[in-house]
Structure formats: structure tokens, C-alpha cells
Amino acid sequence: MAHKAAQWPSEETLLLWKREQARLKARMVDRDTEAWQRDPTFSGLQRVGGVDVSFVNGDSDRACASLVVLSYPELKVVYEDSHMVHLKAPYVSGFLAFREVPFLVELVQRLQEKEPGFMPQVLLVDGNGVLHQRGFGVACHLGVLTDLPCVGVAKKLLQVDGLENNSLHKEKIMLLQAGGDTFPLMGNSGTVLGMALKSHEHSTNPLYVSVGHRVSLEVAVRLTHHCCRFRIPEPIRQADIRSRDYIRRTLGHPGSPAQRQERSQKEQRPKVCPKDGPGAPADQGRPPEDYGRDSSTDLKDPQPGFQEQQKDQQLERTEHHEDSDLPPPPTWVQSPP
């Protein structure tokens, strides 16, 4: 009995969600607040985090949430925490945070409690920041709730405030030459909501970078670019790779009975090396029901459009084997600062 699939939120729920976004938005800071952000070389920046949530096949509510921390500028993984979760809210464009953010916050809290020395100085988030229907995407949401500097990095343009992925936009993309090239995403309001970034020399489709929290757009873009070994910034890419890997190791392949060894949620190994697995503290057993917001399901159809995206991904596949392998990993590879 899989937990029932979430249903489409009621209008009332959507109203509450919008109100929550407006409330939290008042706390968002859209400028640089850290010393390293002012430095041309980001001197002082040592840890960059990345978060992602990967899903289980057809299950609309089972997923693996991952938080990784990479050293900067080496971009080596120094901390990892992957964790199976039960999603309670459906995906609704404009409300991604209500689906994923509770689990991302939990990952940050676990890090704060167990290895505060590994707390990232900035977090790259898979999704938008202020480039959003109401100027408060998941990167802003996570940033405000954790008070960590956050950058929104989306792979597709969210068409809001007059922004359109039309022929004009595609022309601008074609004009991007070298990795690091950008063009501003100006909404009808005249505000620059974000930047399209050619993140890699051989990358066709740009990334859409926007401010999440406690960072300027300029720094957000420069940092994102400096984190790209491939099209997707390494912190997000590693979080994605490891969360997907965790699912494959834990659930095995759907069609093979040999992999029936399903570890239930107890098996979640937090991180640090002490061979003595601390197991689950005691927090994930009973989530407060008054999550307030939840419900409903929804799935999107893939659109038969561009085939270029796969080109970039293939480029990554051909070379990512250098670090994609991780046995039952000891989470971090460096000594605490």
C-alpha cells in the first residue's frame, strides 16, 4: 500500500501557499552578504553545497533527497547525505518548494547537528530563485528557511513575466560563444530576473541562474560558472548522481527479483565515518501532519522538442566515469576543518 498519491491542491491550499511565499519573501536578501563574494577570486570560499531530489520510477511520492558539499575550488565531494523520503505534495509549477524543501531543510539540519564544520558557505539549488511567478522560487525558499546563501540553477526557462522561450530567445542562445557567456533575462517589469549562462564550452543549452538568498546575481552567475566541469554545476550534478545511485542501490532494478533485498528506511546511513552507525536519530519517524500544505498529483508529458539537451548530457556521460563510482561510500573524504 503505497501511500496514496498526492492530489492536485485545492484552491484554498494554493492560496495558503502563495501567502506563505509572500510572507517568507520579506525575509529574502538579494545582495551579497559574505566577504568571499566581494573577492574577485572568491578567496575565502571553501565549501559549496548542492541539493537535489531524485524520484523512484512510477512512484509519485517516494524519492531520495541528497545534500553534498564540495571543496572549492577543487570541486571534490567532502560530505554527502542521501536519504529516502516520502513526498507529500505534488509538483505544481510555481510551488516546487512545497514539494521538496521540507526534506532539503532536514538535510541541512542534520548537517548542522552532526558536522557543522562542513556547513556549505553557499548552496546551489536545482530550480529557480527570484526567476519565478511570484519572485520566490525554491532557491529563495530554501535560502530563507536555512539562512544560507543560495543560488537558483534551472535547466529550462520558466516563462514568467513576459519571458518566453521563443525564437528571439533561441537566437540569443545561439549568440552565446564561450563558456561563461551570458545574457540577461529581463521581465516586462523591467527587472532582470536572472541570466542565461553558457556554462560549458561545448554546451548548447544554457543554464538559467537567478538569485536565491544572500547573493547578488553577478556573483551567482560567476560562482555557477566556476562550479561547472560539465553543463550542470558539480555540486548539483553530484547530488543528482548520488541520489539516483542511492535509489538504485536501495531499491534495485524494478524488474529483477534478485534485488529483492529492500532495505527499509532504517537503513539510512547518515554520513560520518564512525563505523558505528548512529542510525536514525528520532526525527523522521513522525512528521507533523499539520504540514498544512499537501495533496494531489500531477504528471507532465515530455515535450518532443529539442534534442540538443541530450547532446550535452552525452558529453557528460562519456567522461563522468571518473568520479561516478561510489561504493558504500564513507560520505566524506576530508578531515574536518
Partner DNA sequence: GCGACAG
Partner DNA sequence: ATCTTGTCGC
Q: Bin 156: left if φ > 0, else alpha if -120 < ψ < 50, else beta.
A: beta
Q: Which residue in the set 300, 304, 322, 335 belongs to the binding site for DNA (CB under 7 A)? A: 300
Dist. CA 222–CA 249, nearest whole Å: 35
Residue 15 or 333 having the CB closest to DNA: 15
Region binding DNA by CB under 7 A among candidate stretches 46-54, 74-82, 143-151, 285-293: 46-54
Backbone angles phi, psi at 144, to 5 degrees: -65, -40
**94 forms part of the interface with DNA (CB under 7 A):** yes
Q: Which residue in the set 27, 38, 156, 263 belongs to the binding site for DNA (CB under 7 A)? A: 156
**317 forms part of the interface with DNA (CB under 7 A):** yes
Dist. CA 17–CA 130, nearest whole Å: 16
Q: Bin 214: left if φ > 0, else alpha if -120 < ψ < 50, else beta.
A: left
Dist. CA 225–CA 111, nearest whole Å: 26
Q: Which residue in the set 29, 76, 105, 165 belongs to the binding site for DNA (CB under 7 A)? A: 165
Region binding DNA by CB under 7 A among candidate stretches 106-114, 159-167, 222-230, 264-272: 159-167
**126 forms part of the interface with DNA (CB under 7 A):** yes
Interior/surface letters 299-325, b for 16+ CB within 10 angstroms, e for the rest: eeeeeeeeeeeeebeebbeeebeeeee
**127 forms part of the interface with DNA (CB under 7 A):** yes
**176 forms part of the interface with DNA (CB under 7 A):** no
Give the shortest CB-162-to-DNA separation in angstroms: 11
Question: Is the dihedral angle over the CA atoms 32, 213, 162, 201 positive or is it negative?
Answer: positive
| Total interface residues for DNA by CB under 7 A | 37
Question: What single letter denotes the amino acid at residue 273?
Answer: C
Dist. CA 174–CA 129, nearest whole Å: 24
Give the shortest CB-55-to-DNA separation in angstroms: 4
Question: Is the dihedral angle over the CA atoms 29, 151, 125, 15 positive or is it negative?
Answer: positive
**132 forms part of the interface with DNA (CB under 7 A):** yes
Give the shortest CB-24-to-DNA separation in angstroms: 13
Q: Which residue in the set 37, 54, 82, 268 belongs to the binding site for DNA (CB under 7 A)? A: 54
Residue 94 or 270 having the CB closest to DNA: 94
Dist. CA 132–CA 332, nearest whole Å: 34
**128 forms part of the interface with DNA (CB under 7 A):** yes
Dist. CA 212–CA 209, nearest whole Å: 9
**302 forms part of the interface with DNA (CB under 7 A):** yes
Residue 42 or 213 having the CB closest to DNA: 213
**43 forms part of the interface with DNA (CB under 7 A):** no
**310 forms part of the interface with DNA (CB under 7 A):** yes
Q: Which residue in the set 65, 70, 89, 97 belongs to the binding site for DNA (CB under 7 A)? A: 97
Question: Is the dihedral angle over the CA atoms 112, 92, 203, 210 positive or is it negative?
Answer: negative
204-243 mask for DNA (x: CB under 7 A)?
----------------------------------------
Residue 276 or 322 having the CB closest to DNA: 322
Backbone angles phi, psi at 280, to 5 degrees: -85, 130
DSSP 52-118: EEEE-TT-SSEEEEEEEEEETTT--EEEEEEEEEE--S---TT-HHHHHHHHHHHHHHHHHHH-GGG
| Contacting positions for DNA (CB under 7 A) | 52-55, 57, 91, 93-97, 126-128, 132, 137-139, 152, 154-160, 165, 244, 299-302, 310, 314-315, 317-318
